[in-house]
Amino acid sequence: MAKRKQLEIQFIGEDEEGTSCMVTHSTVSASGRFLRNKRRVNARNTRQQGMLNSKQFSDCFEKIWKIFPDNQRASFTYLDCLWFSWYMDELFKEKVLVWISRKHIFTKKYVFVPILHWRHWNLLIFCNFDKPLQSKTQTTCMLLLDSMQMSGPRRLEPTIRKFLLDVYEAEKRPVTKQAISKIPLLIPKVPQQRNGEDCGRFVLYFISLFMESAPKNFSITGGYPYFVSSFFHFWYSVIRGLVLTHTVGTYRGVNETAVLTSYTSST
């Protein structure tokens, strides 16, 4: 049996950190950027041709993020798309927890946690973690979105809860394992992919719709209309365009109805 090669990551100093937050490409430092062989990124993360690798995902996410104005982004933050995967590797676990603690995620109402595991993309969203876990006005919960639910997203639950507990402890916030176990982990019904390659695009789609439609006061009793849109084909075509061209300017202020009509008539 061939000996498994270790992933080589070179950490760089904080003063060398770039201004971009595109995590997997060239530079990740104490906040998460690193130097890495591009071919290894592509080979490790995506074995199926056409599936988004971590660099493509990060590039497209950054462009989608910038579409929304500052006041709309104020309630949101996000983790790098590889941090959850690295957290599961004991070699990098502690470093990842340090990076996350610097993000101060518990000051935001919504936190996007992209998950790339088993060569499949999921999206975890922390909701209302800016409030105490025992808050009587807003329920703290987690949403796990999977565009291929037949794969069994619940199998991630033990790791997700351990991850959350470790994040609390890394930030020195008082919490018990029992309290973490009581936080609802909800799996909303979402559009499903029709092939084995589109999971990353669907995660970007879910992020786009949630940022567009998420309420100021999130409630688990109000249903989840944030991931199903009459403009599904519009958003999906935008995301496909980002993947193909890495340009987003042409989509600003576009008439959604016109684009949707044009797109559906050509498919």
Q: pLDDT digits over 233-253, tens only?
A: 545 555 555 555 443 333 333
Res 260 pLDDT > 70: no
Q: Which domain holds residue 265?
A: 228-245+255-267
Q: Are residues 194 and 233 in the same domain?
A: no
Predicted confidence (pLDDT) per residue in 29-86, tens digit:
444 444 444 444 443 444 445 889 999 999 999 999 999 999 999 999 999 999 999 9
3-state SS track over 71-137: HHHCCEEECCCCHHHHHCCCCCHHHHHHHHHCCCHHHCCEEEEEEEECCEEEEEEEECCCCCCCCCC
At residue 17, what is the residue type? E
Q: Half-sphere exposure (CA, 13 Å, Cβ side) for 125?
A: 27
Q: Are residues 188 and 122 in the same domain?
A: yes
Whether 124 maps to a domain, the answer reads yes
Q: Are residues 196 and 104 in the same domain?
A: yes
pLDDT at 153: 80
Averaged confidence pLDDT in the chain: 73
pLDDT at 258: 33
Whether 38 maps to a domain, the answer reads no
Whether 91 maps to a domain, the answer reads yes
Q: Are residues 194 and 261 in the same domain?
A: no
pLDDT at 9: 36
Q: Are residues 64 and 163 in the same domain?
A: yes
- From 125, 255, 106, 111, select the one nearest 174 (Cα to Cα): 106
Whether 119 maps to a domain, the answer reads yes
Instruction: Give the CATH number for residue 138.
Output: 3.40.395.10
Q: Are residues 192 and 90 in the same domain?
A: yes
The mean per-residue pLDDT over the stretch 165-181 comes to 94
Q: Pick the residue with more confidence: 225 or 19?
A: 225
Total domains in the chain come to 2
Q: Are residues 123 and 209 in the same domain?
A: yes
Q: Pick the residue with more confidence: 64 or 137?
A: 64
Q: Are residues 193 and 234 in the same domain?
A: no
Q: Are residues 95 and 203 in the same domain?
A: yes
pTM of the model: 0.71
Q: Are residues 159 and 267 in the same domain?
A: no
Whether 179 maps to a domain, the answer reads yes
Q: Are residues 235 and 122 in the same domain?
A: no
Res 123 pLDDT > 90: yes
Q: Are residues 259 and 145 in the same domain?
A: no
